[in-house]
Structure formats: structure tokens, C-alpha cells
Chain A
Amino acid sequence: MEISVTVNGKTYRHNVPPRLLLVHYLREQLNLTGAHVGCDTSQCGACVVDVNAQSVKSCTMLAVQADGAQVTTIEGLATNGAYHPMQESFWEMHGLQCGFCTPGMIMSATALLQRNSNPTDAEIRHALEGNLCRCTGYENIVKAVRHAAQQGRAGSNGSMHQGAKPEVPESAEELEHPRRDDGVPEKPETVGDWEGENAGVDETTPMGQGGM
């Protein structure tokens, strides 16, 4: 089935099988591997992306359901090589260890601040209920979100500064892989076929876990 999806501002058209999950479309067709497949049971939140400005778990949505939608992934947050304020706050407050849950955490946290710019700690925890972290014990994640909210309120126009941090000079480009899709030779104006590694899979075997 042919779909047209705008991801991080770029429109793609592909022929995809109906059973293709959005997270696999993003990872394997568009090479946007920031959204992770963690639990595969809609619980861990490592796959969270925005679809039409709503935070969703991309492992529990079909790619065909995203037809015509505007999708933002973690790769779409940084602008001009500078981290998004929430990404900076996670850095600043040490809101991650292994980093597996981080893209989902950051996507959920930015969704929270969009509807509530001054959340209490309880509201932050409630908003992150759908994101599991196995390393940090959540303390620093909550601190990071609180810090981002404070920074946002301190900013003159209500949003945080977007400049590169002094501690992350030119290496920022290299460290953050701001937009992997930039280097991907996709065909935005043509219809491509689903080329993921599971494209011609045997019906009888359970599918792979999607990998990291």
C-alpha cells in the first residue's frame, strides 16, 4: 500500500505492507534509528515519536496509519547542529546512562512541556509513566525535565536558547548525528518499495525483534 509521510519536515512516499509497524518503517526504511524497539509490548516507550503533534508509541501503530501524517522523531529535534533544549538538559543533569530509553524519554518530555510549561515533579513522573529506564532510577531524568522547564521559563520568548553549548564545540555534529536522514539517498519524489530486512520474511517464523 502506498503511503506518504512527512518525517522531520521531509516527505517520503513508499509502498509498504499493511503489517509494517511505524517504528520499523522509521528505522529500516528511513534509517532513523533513534526510535528504539525495547519491549515490543507497548510498555517501555523507547519508540516514542510525535505523530501530528501527539506523542505515540511507534511500535503500536501501523505505518499505513501514518499515511498523510507529520512525524517528528528524536532526529528532528536538533536544529542547525545544536541540540534541542531538552537534549541539553538531559546532558546537563546526567539524565541517562546507557541511553537506550533516552530518545523516547526526550520525546515524551518535550510533549509534556508543550502542554504544561511548568509541571510539578508529580506531573513529570505521571507524564513519563509510559517510559521505562533500567539504569538511572529516574531521579536525574525528572531533574532534567524540571531543568528544561526552568530554562524555558527563563528564556525571553518562553523557549530555551538554541545555541551550541561551549562544552560541545564543533564536535557536536559528530556526537549527536543531528539528522541521519540527511545522508540517506532516499527518493522523496518517487514511490519506493519496502526494503527492510524483514521484507520477504517467512510467515511461519516469529519475526526478529527489530534490533537496537
Chain B
Amino acid sequence: MYPSDFEYAAPTTVQEALELLRQNPEAKVLAGGHSLLPAMRIRLMSPPLLVDIGKLSELKGVRADGGVAIGALTTYHDLEASSELAQRLPVLVECASNVGDPQVRNRGTIGGSIAHADPAADMPAVVLALGAEMKVVGPNGERTISADDFFVDMLQTALEPGELLTEITVPPMPEQMGAAYEKFKHPASGYAIVGVAVMVHRGADGNVSDCRIAVTGAGPRAQRARAAEDALKSGMDVAEAAARASDGLEYIGDISASEEYRANLVRVLTKRALTRAMEQLR
């Protein structure tokens, strides 16, 4: 199936891309195209102009700067292959290697996944659990949006018209950190029916000092499971905390899974992810 007709531009600088977006408010940004092109093929989206940012090589790659900065145009394959990430944030490698299939990972990008904000995409949960920040440029210059504020609703983010996501930055992590991503895959699409990403820190006193749990697939957007976070931080064990993971979340049921089933998956996957993350604490 063909997308409906559109104009195509492949700028070679970020400034050029921003100018095209400013002049064409209805334009869509094309990165790896593995969410956008399928949506256009079934005519769910029919933008008049595609701004292909594939030539903006400055948006590619992983860089360590205290924390880790990941260019928005970095593909899942590049995340999987990054020795920097394998050392500092293996949870991102683990998550990337379970997205789609090899061909999807060769083209699909972390920034594309986050900016598209599919309710069942993996990356939004992981960046939310890691407390990442999204660096964005637009007509009014650069700004930073925290992952907590970024995912607004189904396919909706805090990106304003004309803005371009350029980089995802993960803050420096303490030594005593564990993180894991658990996913129950839809067998045909590979998307998460539910996915749970967790991050735990342990303080000098041996107790959990910080914990972030993020859920994808259950509802319209990636969401924090705050009841379980609070439980773990208050000293409850993993099983007790995980039992609260489904509390207070928004759910969507569909032909693949009911709301109740998804809530159950949230609890089960949270327990598995927390167990693995706690094992990583030294």
C-alpha cells in the first residue's frame, strides 16, 4: 500500500530542518520511519511534507559525559552494539535488543520511538525509569524536557510544533544501581502487551534509596508505578512492592489483552524486573 502523496526534503543541518518545520507546521519528521511509514501506508497519517533527518549525522551516536548522552537518531542496532552502554547502562542494550526484529532495529531510532510515543513502545518506559531528559531544539532555541513531563497521552508528547528531539541524556548513576526491563511481547507485532522498566539505587545504609518503575503497554502512555516505588522505598520487599505496581495506573483493554490481564502483567513483570535489578546491587 502506498502512502498518500507528499513532498520530501532531506536537510543536511539541524537549522535547515528547523526552518522546514517552521514553514510547514503540518510536516512530520522522518527518522528511521518504522512507526511513521507504516502509519502513512494505512493512511492513518497523511503529512504534506516529510522532513527526513537521516542525513543529520550529528544526531547519531552515544557519548559519555558523566552521564550518557544518546543522539536521537541512534538506531536500536547502534544501542545494542554500544560498548559504552553495555558498561554503563546495560538495561538500554537489553531493551534495544528486544525491539521488533533485526531489520526494525537496523532502521528504527531511539528518538523516533520516544517522539512517536506509541503506547506499547519499549523505549519510553526505559527512559522514564532512568529519569532521562529530552533535549529539544525549536524556533525558540533549545530546551530540556524531563521524561516525567514528556509522555502526555497516546501518540502525544510535550514536543511543540516546530520542535525537534535531538538528544536523550541519562544522568550519572551511583555505583549502587540496578536496572532491568521485562516485556511480555505480542507474538505477532513484537510490541509490548506490557513492559516494565525499573531502576533501583541503594544508599550507604544498605536500604533502597531511590526507585523508579515505568510501565508501557498498559495504558495510553508510559506511566510511573508510584505505589510500588513508594512501597519499595518504605522498606517493603520486592513481592510486596510488586503487588502494588498496578495501583493507580490508566489501562486500555483491546482484543489482545483485557485491562485486568494487563494489570496482572504489570504486577508479574514488576516483580521479575525488580528481582533482577536488586540482584545487580553490590
Interface, chain A (partner B; CB < 8 A): 1, 17-21, 24, 40-43, 45, 48, 54-57, 60-62, 64-65, 67, 108, 111-112, 127, 129-131, 198, 201, 203, 206-207, 209-210
Contacts and interface: CB of A to CB of B under 8 A. Distances in A.
Given A42-B38, A65-B33, A19 B5 contact: yes
B7 A56 contact: no
Interface in B3-39: 3-8, 10, 30, 33-34, 37-38
B104 A19 contact: no
Interface of B: 1-8, 10, 30, 33-34, 37-38, 41-43, 50, 52, 54, 77, 100-104, 106-107, 188-190
Contacts of A62: 8, 33, 37
Contact of A207 (B1, B50, B52): B1
A56 B100 CA distance: 12
Contact of A18 (B38, B50, B103, B188): B50
28 contacts: A1-B8, A17-B5, A18-B7, A18-B50, A19-B5, A21-B41, A41-B41, A42-B38, A42-B104, A43-B190, A54-B77, A54-B107, A55-B106, A56-B103, A57-B103, A60-B34, A61-B33, A61-B37, A61-B107, A65-B30, A129-B101, A130-B101, A130-B103, A198-B2, A206-B1, A207-B2, A209-B1, A210-B1
A131 B102 CA distance: 10
Nearest to B106: A54
A171 B226 CA distance: 68
Contacts of B42: 41
Contacts of A65: 30, 33, 52, 54
A129 B190 contact: yes
A45 B33 contact: no
Contacts of B52: 64-65
Nearest to A132: B188
Contact of B103 (A21, A40, A64, A108): A108
A111 B7 contact: no
B106 A21 contact: no
